[in-house]
Chains A and B, each alone.
Chain A
């Protein structure tokens, strides 16, 4: 069973800064790597699928990259609405999440 490990657990940044979130798989995975954003009291929202494709309506400041076992979600310049928890997913497995909080 694949394990996805996200780091860091918490990222403290200011609006306008760049956020780099990591998702590491316990074994090489296919490109079906997705990223979600979740705000308190809300359902997850798909941001990125197939490692690097933005979902419908997702701003260009969100980008995904990686292959094999190492994947990254980058938010180029944080907007106030981007402070949230982010999860990666591959198949039946989710990472434990990274919280992006305001510094």
Chain B
């Protein structure tokens, strides 16, 4: 059974950094594109970034490029999201998700339960 478990969220001060992790199990991580999607409290879904199977191609939402960095370690069955210079509007639940097929524009068929990032002083 496919499982995605995010961790690393928490309370962080504005300007700080955070590294989110996503542990994957039940499938071969190295054969899938993966995504991070976030959801601010009471708001809709917002795509953050995608990464291809071997980590050589990263795609980011235009407004996030530079502060966000997606990476993966297939040997550790893990996906990561580094967020720097955190701002209050980065406060959200961050989900990792598996992309359905070998296309960065595709839907995501499995999602983790999310990890909450709160940016506040």
Contact = CB atoms under 8 A, between A and B. Distances in A.
Contact of B107 (A1, A89, A97): A89
B47 A94 contact: yes
Interface residues of B, number: 22
Nearest to A30: B105
A19 interface: no
B51 to A, nearest CB: 13
The range of chain A's interface size is: 20 to 34
A97 B95 contact: no
A52 B93 CA distance: 29
A49 B107 contact: yes
A55 B45 CA distance: 19
Given A34-B107, A43-B113, A89-B45, 17 more contacts: A34-B106, A38-B45, A42-B113, A43-B111, A43-B114, A44-B37, A44-B95, A46-B107, A46-B108, A49-B100, A49-B106, A87-B44, A89-B107, A91-B105, A94-B44, A94-B45, A96-B44
Interface of A: 1, 30, 32, 34, 36, 38, 42-46, 49-50, 55-56, 87, 89-97
Interface of B: 37, 44-47, 50, 59, 61-62, 95, 100, 103-109, 111-114
5 contacts: A44-B108, A45-B111, A46-B100, A50-B107, A89-B45
